[in-house]
Structure 1
Amino acid sequence: MMVSASDKRARRNGRMASLLFGAVLALGAAFPGKALADRSFERWVASFWPTAHAAGVSRATYDAALSGLTPDADTIRLMEKQSEFVKPIWDYLGSAVSDTRVETGRQMLKDYAEVLSRIERRFGVDKEVVLAVWGMETNYGSFKGEHYVVRALATLAYAAPRRQSFWQQELVTALLIIQAGHVRPADMEGSWAGAMGHTQFMPTSWKRFSADYDGDGRHDIWTNVPDALASTANYLKQHGWVSGKTWGYEVTLPRGFNYGLADGETTLSLAEWARHGVTRTGGRSFPRPDDRAELILPAGANGPAFLMLKNFFVIKRYNNANAYALAVGHLADRIRGGEPLRTAWPLNALPLSREQTVDLQNLLNRRGFSVGEADGMVGPATRRGIMAYQRAVGLVPDGYASVILLQAIRSDG
């Protein structure tokens, strides 16, 4: 028997109600002095009505979307989670660009051939890149999230310790989307943080970048695949996608390479990189030598190296992580028939957790290799400090923050 989305949600809400007492206790522990009991949440929902109304939300929409809701305990749990484990990029890419995902992407390329060709012509974004974003975000729509987006955003707008104005704006926008008839509340499912639909737009991103592929007046990224794919292409185009160009190249660095050029700030033409001895893997030439690129070493000098073009950084506007953008670009290449990466990953060069990065930064500062504030983030200043330390002790100055490096600096004190 088929079960509707609304029936599924009713069952989930029923299970939540039966576990409410335990959930309230858990939430109270997560926020000392601010227990999220139903009554306090109800008072917040009532107090937020003037804000929503001032933005154009009707009373009928507000009540239909928010009446009877309880806080989403899963949203609170995930918001507060601070994992110390950092997945190495080779593990991340192994799952993100798995053989199964590549094969499914190639099948989707056939299944949606006409739609994707029209989208590519309209927006100038490679159809394989659009598919790769879909594959990365929801595994081609197989898992779009199981949270009622309004409930998740209301929970964050009420309880998040930071950025409450951001969550409130997202909540209001979600209510306006429902009010305009673009999606039924029963279909507005997404992630614990409110990312929605096949390609996981936040409500304000939907407002700015969603597209109506079929001209029916709705921008339905939840149940209409063509609308979702067109919206993704429009998002990338509006953020500066350069038509007819790729995202980057896997490259080989020469012996004695100047790793100071891999500082996250140096951008050279491909012809200039070639003069520094940088070549494409497999002996192929760069098709457009005037294109400018930045060198990225995701796992240091002993792993794959990449020259990243502007489109790589456009992909990062979707998710601001090098690993994500690399996965999208590589998955797109594999979908169109490209080969796996040629250079092996250094499996022993594990990345640092945020806590370990703070430790490394403090150690570098104490030894005179200034990196600024120890904030747990590896930015340009930290990379420069790492490279200065590596040069001082005779290591390859690649600026890569690894467990091996941390162990070395701990032991030399």
Structure 2
Amino acid sequence: MRLVLLLLILLMPAAAQAQDRTAVERDFQSWLQKRVWPDAQKAGVTRATFDAATTGLTLDWSLPDLQPPGAPPPKEQRQPEFQTPGRYISEDKFPALVSGGRAALKQWARTLDTIEKRYGVPREIVVAIWGRETAYGSVKPKNSAIRNLATVGFIGSRKSMFYPELIAALQILEGDHIPLVELKASWAGAMGQPQFLPTKFLRYAVDGDGDGRRDIWNSTPDALASIANYLKGHGWVAGRWWGTEITAGTGVACTLEGPDKPRPVADWLKLGAKPRTPALSGAPALPGHLLMPAGRHGPAFLVSENFYVLKSYNESDMYALFVGHLADRYRGDARIAGGWDALSGFTRNDVRDMQKRLEAQGHDAGGTDGLVGFRTRVAIGLWQQRSGREPTCFPDAELVRQAGR
């Protein structure tokens, strides 16, 4: 009898969890009809399209960052020891991508000719994004975009971000006539070869092969033209390259970094910046921006406004640098010359605490998200200057505990 009671006690949490999920699934069905359907209808989705997409739809409980009613907030996913930015762009990531990209440039040369003329975006940049996102279309997400977005839009920890993407995905089914079975995405709803979110698809996807459909899943011309259209729509300046690596002498202060501190390229050269290529030095009157993604602990770059257009594709300096460098590698074999110091001994929470201290002292650290963005890097450098230290503009294990104190 005691054994039976013990088994019942042990099984209670699982049973309660199953019961709770059943209740959440019921609420999900009500939410689909009472909230999603009216919003979809206002967005031009017909009842037939909505029913085809949602009949029999259930939540995908395997997705990350879910927060069902009554559940505690999801645990922080990024709390391992900090990794140096150089790991994102390490040399071992490039040989296969460079080889595949050069082959793709040849295979799709005629399509890319048309795209360059129409959008003013260099073919190498377009192909580099394609390679970074889905390895030239070889990586194919297999999840249902509707199910994933409905799940994270209902019980995800960032509902407000994903709910509009669900409505947009339904609009795609309605207006673009993409079969539901082909509307595949990553867990977060990024779709097709360019990995567009649905709202991005609606605004920037184009018909690149002239068949009357915007099919970024199966049509490479559509995918490539859509990437170029996105970059043009975000301000790509035709005729300017993204940037170049530089040797930053002592006259190039790391606190001068950022999109908000442009100077004519000629001024950077006078300060001692020595470009490795003539990519920007050939336009001395045009603005250039200093990029030091690891402060004095890594290489430095002089970038054009087009670098920040690349960054708009995925809000990360390292992503934009990866894409720009990959595009360079299609043209030649020059690796990034500057080394990346190995930095460790602190976590994202440590950085967040440091940012709070810096902001309390009046520095603009760009928020307290635990990420070492350019505003945090500049804030560190300014604090170091005021403290009588040599600015490095990037934390190490000791500095992350001291900065702002």
Work out whether the TM-score is over 0.5. yes
State the 1:192 CA deviation: 0.8
State the 1:403 CA deviation: 2.7
State the 1:153 CA deviation: 1.0
Aligned partner of 1:59 in structure 2 is 47
Deviations 1:3-54 (A, max 9, x none): xxxxxxxxxxxxxxxxxx97993996xxxxx876322222222222222122
RMSD: 3.0
Hey, what's the Cα distance between the residues in 1 that align with 2:16 and 2:125? 43
Contact 1:302–1:346 (Cα < 8 Å) also in 2: yes
State the 1:308 CA deviation: 1.3
Query: 3-state DSSP class of the match of 2:290?
Result: strand
Deviations 1:280-325 (A, max 9, x none): 1379981211221111111121310011111100111111110000
1:224 corresponds, among 216, 219, 226, to: 219
How has the CA–CA distance of structure 1 residues 51 and 246 changed in structure 2, closer, same or farther, with 3 Å as cutoff?
A: same
Verify: 1:143 aligned to 2:135, yes or no.
Answer: no
Hey, what's the Cα distance between the residues in 2 that align with 1:112 and 1:169? 34
Q: Which amino acid aligns with 2:196?
A: F
How has the CA–CA distance of structure 1 residues 337 and 95 changed in structure 2, closer, same or farther, with 3 Å as cutoff?
A: closer
1:346 corresponds, among 334, 341, 344, to: 341
Aligned partner of 1:46 in structure 2 is 33
Hey, what's the Cα distance between the residues in 1 that align with 2:283 and 2:113? 24
Aligned partner of 1:25 in structure 2 is 17
How has the CA–CA distance of structure 1 residues 269 and 156 changed in structure 2, closer, same or farther, with 3 Å as cutoff?
A: same
Contact 2:256–2:378 (Cα < 8 Å) also in 1: no
Deviations 1:170-202 (A, max 9, x none): 212211211234421111111111110000111
Hey, what's the Cα distance between the residues in 1 that align with 2:207 and 2:279? 40
How has the CA–CA distance of structure 1 residues 169 and 275 changed in structure 2, closer, same or farther, with 3 Å as cutoff?
A: same
Q: Which amino acid aligns with 1:72?
A: D
Query: 3-state DSSP class of the match of 1:301?
Result: helix
Verify: 1:255 aligned to 2:243, yes or no.
Answer: no
Hey, what's the Cα distance between the residues in 2 that align with 1:244 and 1:120? 11
State the 1:214 CA deviation: 1.7
Equivalent residues in 2 for 1:221-370, closer than 5 Å: 221-255=216-250, 257-262=252-257, 265-281=260-276, 286-347=281-342, 349-350=343-344, 353-364=347-358, 370=363
Query: 3-state DSSP class of the match of 1:356?
Result: helix
Unaligned runs of 5+ in 2: 1-12, 68-73
Q: Which amino acid aligns with 1:100?
A: A
How has the CA–CA distance of structure 1 residues 334 and 374 changed in structure 2, closer, same or farther, with 3 Å as cutoff?
A: closer
Aligned partner of 1:14 in structure 2 is none
Query: 3-state DSSP class of the match of 1:260?
Result: helix
Aligned partner of 2:70 in structure 1 is none
Deviations 1:253-282 (A, max 9, x none): 123543332365321011010010111137
Contact 2:149–2:163 (Cα < 8 Å) also in 1: yes
Query: 3-state DSSP class of the match of 2:88?
Result: helix
Contact 1:90–1:345 (Cα < 8 Å) also in 2: yes
Deviations 1:108-146 (A, max 9, x none): 111111111211111110111001111111111122322
How has the CA–CA distance of structure 1 residues 108 and 253 changed in structure 2, closer, same or farther, with 3 Å as cutoff?
A: same
Hey, what's the Cα distance between the residues in 2 that align with 1:26 and 1:137? 37
Query: 3-state DSSP class of the match of 2:90?
Result: helix
Hey, what's the Cα distance between the residues in 2 that align with 1:231 and 1:321? 20
Q: Which amino acid aligns with 2:143?
A: H
Query: 3-state DSSP class of the match of 1:311?
Result: helix
2:400 corresponds, among 401, 406, 412, to: 406
Equivalent residues in 2 for 1:370-381, closer than 5 Å: 370=363, 374-378=368-372
Unaligned runs of 5+ in 1: 1-20, 29-33
State the 1:371 CA deviation: 5.3
Equivalent residues in 2 for 1:112-261, closer than 5 Å: 112-164=108-160, 166-255=161-250, 257-261=252-256
Contact 2:142–2:185 (Cα < 8 Å) also in 1: yes
Query: 3-state DSSP class of the match of 1:156?
Result: helix
How has the CA–CA distance of structure 1 residues 283 and 204 changed in structure 2, closer, same or farther, with 3 Å as cutoff?
A: closer
Hey, what's the Cα distance between the residues in 2 that align with 1:220 and 1:23? 44
Contact 1:197–1:222 (Cα < 8 Å) also in 2: yes
State the 1:240 CA deviation: 0.8
Hey, what's the Cα distance between the residues in 1 that align with 2:37 and 2:279? 61
Aligned partner of 1:72 in structure 2 is 60
Aligned partner of 1:109 in structure 2 is 105
How has the CA–CA distance of structure 1 residues 232 and 150 changed in structure 2, closer, same or farther, with 3 Å as cutoff?
A: same
State the 1:382 CA deviation: 4.1
Contact 2:124–2:327 (Cα < 8 Å) also in 1: yes
Contact 2:78–2:348 (Cα < 8 Å) also in 1: no
Identity of aligned residues (%): 39
Hey, what's the Cα distance between the residues in 2 that align with 1:278 and 1:392? 24
Query: 3-state DSSP class of the match of 1:307?
Result: strand
Greater alpha carbon shift after TM alignment, 309-318 vs 51-60:
51-60
Greater alpha carbon shift after TM alignment, 248-257 vs 276-285:
276-285
Greater alpha carbon shift after TM alignment, 382-391 vs 239-248:
382-391
Greater alpha carbon shift after TM alignment, 42-51 vs 75-84:
75-84
Deviations 1:325-383 (A, max 9, x none): 00110011112224111111112x349543111222355568x5755775535466644
Hey, what's the Cα distance between the residues in 1 that align with 2:118 and 2:393? 41
TM-score by length of 2: 0.85
Q: Which amino acid aligns with 2:54?
A: L
